[in-house]
Amino acid sequence: MAKLQLTDVHHVYPNGHRGLRDINLSVEPGEFITLVGPSGSGKTTLLRTIAGFLQPSHGMVDIGGTRVADDKSWVGPERRDLGMVFQEHAVWPHLTVFQNVAYPLQRKRVAKTAMTRQVADVLEEVGLSEHAQQKPAALSGGQRQRVALARAIVSKPQALLLDEALSALDEPLRARLRQQLRRLTQDEGLTTVHVTHDRTEALALADRVVVLNGGRIVQDAPPAEILANPANSFVAAFMSDAAVLQGSWAAGRFYPDNRNLHIADDAVVSHPEEQTSAVRCRTTVAPEDIRLETFRGNGPADRTVGTVTSVLAGRFGTEISVDWDGGTFAVYAPVGALVPKTSDRVVIHIDRMHVFEDSALTTHGAYA
């Protein structure tokens, strides 16, 4: 296992598109990080830069204390001693499972006895010992992906790179392989970088989640920190399906643009620093931070009222969509909570919200 270090890395494609901007990332030996972000955010470009498939336009990449890329030099992927698993498992159909896994050791000219032992050990680790002499065509998709994983780690690489490695698999197989992957990387002490579009997978697997947008890292933190304290409204919306609302922050209070949205002052858990004038803000409200109450047509006027438009049951709760005068809230109701029916009128209680200063919308007049 090795430390990965990227310093001031930029990448510009030949067509002028800037794939990476100001990337500074450190992955400690044995650490498991996930890269997440929308399409075009730079997560695959970043992984391919670490792997050596792309040469950065500027900046430095170090693997295990060795410089593999900078403005003057570049080490190709075949010399970086990395294991990599792709979305499509890419095992050779004409070779047996044993031969597929042994291939990296053959290239390194490992002695036959040692090679046989190492392959047997890793096949045991991934639960494929009984399939050693079978061809990939006789295996399931999950088994073939485990062959690819075994091949990637058999030579004990400096780091393991995973590019959507589980996304082509169906649930619950993906969930089982997710557990096996985490256990395996921990047992082997592998430094691991995993690109995924599955936010649940990213949060479940990672020691740290790295969120990218527009080629930049917008937050790098443990999963619990990402959910509890998102760095900005983009992270909250992308990682938690939070609703994003605009308004102003002044004199210790959030004033929504839509006056029909009523929010208790104690619901705000983070906000901009106090300033002499009002600042334009975006606030985010995660689905789990909203409670619903049946609307009975009476009671205080300062309540937010909406209409249920969708109710989707799940194993651990219910996902509800509620339209109101200013847009739509996604609401997550855990088991035991009120579950309204479609078309029901409900009172929306916001228990927790984050307020972020929006520099692009900041004004210098008092809130009117």
Q: How far apart are CA 353 and CA 245, in angstroms?
A: 10
Fold of the 242-361 domain: OB fold (Dihydrolipoamide Acetyltransferase, E2P) (2.40.50)
Q: How far apart are CA 253 and CA 324, in angstroms?
A: 22
In the DSSP assignment, the letter for residue 359 is G
Q: How far apart are CA 68 and CA 210, in angstroms?
A: 22
Q: Is the peptide bond before 136 cis (omega within 30 degrees of 0)?
A: no
Residues in the chain with pLDDT values less than 70: 89, 168-173, 299, 359-368
The reported pLDDT for the residue numbered 273 is 84
What single letter denotes the amino acid at residue 220?
D
Fold of the 4-228 domain: Rossmann fold (3.40.50)
Structural domain spans, the chain: 4-228, 242-361
The reported pLDDT for the residue numbered 359 is 62
- Sheet strands (E) in 104-227: 159-163, 192-195, 208-213, 216-221
The reported pLDDT for the residue numbered 353 is 94
Note whether 4-228 and 242-361 share their fold: no
Burial of 113 (0-12, 13-18, 19+ CB in 10 A): exposed
Q: How far apart are CA 228 and CA 286, in angstroms?
A: 10
The reported pLDDT for the residue numbered 168 is 66
- Convert the pLDDT of each residue in 330-361 to its tens digit: 999 988 888 999 999 999 999 999 999 876 54
Q: From residue 71, how far is each of 8, 21, 59, 195 by CA, in Å?
A: 11, 15, 6, 26
In this prediction the pTM is 0.87
Helices and strands counted in the chain (H then E): 8, 20
